[in-house]
């Protein structure tokens, strides 16, 4: 496709979404499902405008998906205002830790015994498909920094954490595909480098940078009295870039660093605001003005959230449209069994067994078990695997199953999310 044709296609799609948004809000259909259908209409069996070879496009797709995930992780982090030792975080830790590990094992076992795939590829599929997606899960995540609902908060924290926590297991899956390269010394090195160092270092680096730069920027805005004139979206771009690069330079995981940077920035706002209410939601009685620090924090948070949401939604539209266009070439019927096994058995059972406590009732645990949306993060890991030595003879199988399961998730979770959330919120209000 030429540049002009691409511009025309994206323009038509964005106009379609803008005009139909009021109707889609009342239907069990998400923006992602519309983009997926639109992409399929552009594919080889539709208008024939896009004929994408995913393997050949993996290098530039890796960068696109990486950027989408980074913006989404930062935006997720900045919406989570509670301190990490609060009870609301407990579900996130369990979902991003033991639940995800059990899901990786479950998908790997199903792929190996059910689809007769080799263990290496099965483990890689488990690592790519187990983590939930921060980009497409926006509907089930917290809506703002004042949303402390246990289900939404747990899913938001999980989406922020598990994309980074899954990375070591993607690397392990690639190592397992080449068995001679995987011995006890290599396994020990993998654990030390990725689990002992990569995960905690990424979180520490991102959180430290977010807190530090957040305090510096708020203090500067107060000192110069330019909260409304300064380009606060530059702070988001700078934090994403710096935290990611610093983490990469020391061998830590950049996804975790970017998520933690957003969370650290929010904690800086919470410290300056001296309020249980997020700065951008503070209301002043009568004519009493906000303190200068509160005003600066409110403007910074509001600008960053608006900018981040715009970038995230734009990337989602582009990437899901491309997924739909590629689906004609890569649809694999085996993905129905693999996807349903993950969505309906492995994930819900893992949540039911491992996520316990008085802070969640049975209905909330059931929702946590179902709302495991797969999306852009899985596509990124797939592109990463292709770029880092996934053998050509199994590339098509990996691509077909991953794209098909992600598409299935977009459809099933997209159709069910809004009705289930409305039912949950009605029940929650009555309680």
CATH code where residue 53 lies: 1.20.1530.20
Q: What is residue 285's predicted lDDT score, i.e. its pLDDT?
A: 44
Q: What is residue 289's predicted lDDT score, i.e. its pLDDT?
A: 52
Q: Which two tokens stand for residue 368?
A: 């946590």
Closest Cα to residue 134, out of 322, 374, 417? 374
Query: What's the rounded mean pLDDT across residues 160-175?
Result: 92
Q: Which domain holds residue 11?
A: 3-430
The band of 291, judged by pLDDT with boundaries at 50, 70 and 90, is low
Using CA atoms, how far apart are residues 402 and 395, in angstroms rounded to an integer? 11
Cα 409-380-266 angle, rounded to 5 deg: 90
Task: Answer for the pair 32, 320: CB distance below 8 angstroms, yes or no.
Answer: yes
The per-residue pLDDT for range 52-86, each reduced to its tens digit, is 888 888 999 999 999 999 999 999 999 888 889 88
Closest Cα to residue 190, out of 169, 204, 205? 169
Cα 105-373-139 angle, rounded to 5 deg: 150
Which residues are within 8 A (CB) of 421 and not within 5 positions of it... i.e. 6 or more apart?
A: 139, 140
Cα 61-63-69 angle, rounded to 5 deg: 100
Using CA atoms, how far apart are residues 268 and 64, in angstroms rounded to an integer? 30
DSSP alpha helix (H) spans, 289-391: 292-330, 334-340, 347-354, 362-370, 376-387
Number of domains the chain is built from: 1
Q: Which two tokens stand for residue 209?
A: 């940078």
pTM metric for this prediction: 0.91
The band of 284, judged by pLDDT with boundaries at 50, 70 and 90, is very low
Count of C-beta atoms within a 10 Å radius of residue 416: 14
Q: What is residue 287's predicted lDDT score, i.e. its pLDDT?
A: 44
In terms of average pLDDT, the best of 81-95, 103-117, 315-329, 352-366 is 103-117
Say yes or no to pLDDT of 367 above 60.
Answer: yes
Query: What's the rounded mean pLDDT across residues 164-191?
Result: 87
């Amino acid at each position: 496709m030429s540049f002009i044709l691409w511009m025309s296609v994206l323009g038509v799609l964005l106009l379609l979404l803008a005009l139909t948004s009021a109707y889609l809000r009342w239907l069990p259909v998400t923006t992602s499902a519309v983009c997926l259908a639109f992409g399929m209409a552009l594919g080889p069996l539709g208008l024939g405008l896009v004929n994408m070879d995913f393997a050949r496009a993996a290098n530039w797709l890796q960068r696109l998906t990486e950027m989408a995930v980074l913006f989404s992780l930062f935006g997720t982090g900045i919406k989570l205002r509670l301190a990490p030792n609060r009870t609301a975080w407990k579900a996130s830790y369990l979902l991003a830790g033991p639940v995800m590990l059990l899901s990786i094992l479950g998908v790997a076992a199903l792929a190996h015994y059910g689809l007769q795939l080799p263990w290496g590829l099965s483990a890689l599929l488990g690592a790519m498909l187990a983590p939930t997606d921060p980009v497409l899960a926006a509907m089930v995540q917290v809506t703002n920094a004042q949303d402390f609902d246990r289900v939404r908060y747990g899913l938001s924290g999980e989406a922020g954490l598990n994309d980074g926590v899954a990375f070591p297991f993607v690397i392990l899956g690639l190592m397992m595909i080449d068995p001679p390269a995987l011995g006890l010394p290599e396994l020990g090195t993998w654990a030390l480098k990725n689990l002992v160092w990569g995960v905690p270092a990424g979180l520490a680096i991102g959180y430290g940078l977010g807190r530090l730069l957040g305090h510096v920027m708020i203090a500067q805005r107060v000192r110069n009295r330019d909260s409304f004139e300064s380009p606060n979206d530059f702070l988001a771009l700078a934090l994403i870039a710096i935290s990611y690069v610093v983490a990469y330079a020391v061998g830590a995981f950049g996804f975790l660093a970017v998520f933690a940077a957003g969370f650290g920035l929010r904690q800086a706002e919470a410290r300056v605001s001296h309020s249980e209410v997020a700065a951008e939601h503070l209301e002043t009685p009568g004519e009493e003005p906000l303190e200068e620090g509160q005003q600066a924090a409110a403007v910074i948070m509001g600008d960053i959230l608006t900018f981040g949401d715009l970038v995230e939604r734009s990337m989602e539209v582009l990437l899901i449209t491309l997924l739909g266009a590629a689906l004609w070439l890569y649809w694999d019927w085996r993905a129905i069994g693999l996807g349903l096994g993950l969505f309906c058995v492995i994930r819900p059972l893992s949540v039911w067994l491992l996520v316990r406590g008085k802070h969640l009732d049975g209905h909330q645990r059931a929702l946590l078990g179902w709302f495991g949306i797969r999306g852009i993060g899985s596509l990124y890991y797939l592109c990463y695997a292709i770029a880092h030595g996934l053998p050509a003879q199994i590339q098509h199988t990996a691509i077909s199953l991953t794209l098909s399961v992600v598409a299935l998730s977009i459809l099933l979770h997209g159709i069910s999310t809004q009705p289930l959330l409305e039912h949950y919120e009605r029940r929650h209000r009555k309680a």
